[in-house]
Homo-oligomer: A and B are copies of this chain.
Amino acid sequence: MLPKGFYSLGKNIGIKDTTKDFAVIYSNIPCHSAAVFTLNNFPGAPIIVGKEHIKNGILQAIVINSKNSNVATGEEGVKNALEICKAVANSLKINFEDVLPSSTGVIGVPLPIDKILNACKTIKSELKEGNLEEVAEAILTTDKKKKISYKVINQNGKTGVIYGIAKGAGMIEPNMATMLCYILTDINIKTSDLKSILKSAVDKSFNCLTIDSDTSTSDTVVVMSNGTSIELEEPEFEEYLTEICIDLTKQIAMDAEGATKLIELKVSGATNLVQAKKIGKSILNSPLVKTAIYGGDPNWGRFIMAIGKVFDEKIPFENISLKLNGLEIKNADQSTKHKMSNYLKENSKIFLDVNLGMGEFSSIFWGCDLTEEYIKENAYYTT
């Protein structure tokens, strides 16, 4: 089921190869919108332009290309992103400042701007109602699977839909946002601060994800609401939005470059959320933890090492509990190691619980294992 009032297209325009690489999402009325972007100090040109265009909280279209991120392309890159918005606006007869540009792919290569501007000319006639799966496909780079999550809410015989699309498989340790994620809804959200709601949802989902510790220069999460279906109070919408963001976060972790296992890590017993996050990220970014989980190696000492290398958070060793799917693995004997190894080898979703025994705070983080395939994919990405 799709949110009402959204039209889209996804197609190939030959940016790199013959797979889909260009997409447009259009709402037939201007949308109440919010976005969060990467904290990387060298954000892409589309992000520089997008930050301006989202300022008034209104968007009516998103234009996306994959296979080229338009990052580190200087003033020419910014000019190109703006021209694309204008071309889209021109075709759709809307305000160019209500268009958000997005690009993902290789860094530091000028956009094939003529191909893109050319494709913009025919947007109006090629848009189809809904059709968002095509967009989900067109935004992929090294991803193997489309990432879609949606929620249908029934209210007095009427229905509202929140529909999220994401991409991302590497260069992922989002900070305030993830690779690319578009969330469309026809629900009228009773809020004066959609951005806070989005930030809060992102903090509990994408910002708790790490694939390889590398924060992308293109991270973007956008939410667009046309308000044409049911009306929801802030807390309720935030709850649904968070669910969708978490679902997309897990889909990204599962489809991470080379990954064979999704790791869901709960850090509890922390003195505060900052402590939980430092420990959580240290564990999920540790190549030695990630390879042990990949190989089914019952090497629990590596978890201890990864907790201990957060020098400024001193946790007494005795306090710590390490559980793998409920099984205590700290000081594991041979029989426990055997169970641990079997669990790691037989499952593609790994549940890890780390209790620090320090306080009352807890948080959940997501990551994946590290495999030979990650190396292969990234050793030869541009070539």
Contacts and interface: CB of A to CB of B under 8 A. Distances in A.
Given A288-B214, A317-B42, A299 B106 contact: yes
Contacts of A229: none
A40 B74 CA distance: 42
Contacts of A42: 304-305, 307-308, 317
Contacts of A40: 305, 308-309, 311
A39 B214 contact: no
Given A317-B72, A379-B295, A382-B299, A213 B107 contact: no
Contacts of A217: 301, 304-305, 308
A252 to B, nearest CB: 16
A332 B370 CA distance: 30
Interface string A274-304: 0000000000011110011011111111101
A370 B194 CA distance: 42
Nearest to A310: B41
Interface residues of A, number: 64
Given A108-B300, A215-B309, A302-B107, A170 B72 contact: no
Consensus secondary structure, chain A interface: loop
B41 A291 contact: no
A341 B383 CA distance: 10
Contact of A288 (B170, B296, B297): B170
Tell me the number of copies of this protein: 2
Given A294-B379, A372-B372, A108 B301 contact: yes
A41 B308 contact: yes
Contacts of A310: 41
Contacts of A108: 299-301, 304, 331-332
Contacts of A299: 106-108, 381-382
A107 B337 CA distance: 13
A354 interface: no
A256 B302 CA distance: 18
A308 B215 CA distance: 8
Nearest to A329: B108
Contacts of A352: none
A13 interface: no
B379 A311 contact: no
A295 B380 contact: yes
A41 B170 CA distance: 30
Given A71-B301, A106-B301, 13 more contacts: A42-B304, A69-B301, A71-B305, A107-B299, A109-B301, A170-B288, A212-B287, A214-B286, A214-B309, A215-B309, A291-B374, A295-B380, A374-B375
Interface of A: 39-42, 69, 71-72, 74, 106-109, 170-171, 173, 175, 212-217, 285-288, 291-292, 294-302, 304-311, 313-315, 317, 331-332, 341, 370-372, 374-376, 378-383
10 contacts: A40-B308, A40-B309, A171-B288, A171-B305, A213-B286, A288-B378, A291-B375, A295-B381, A297-B382, A372-B376
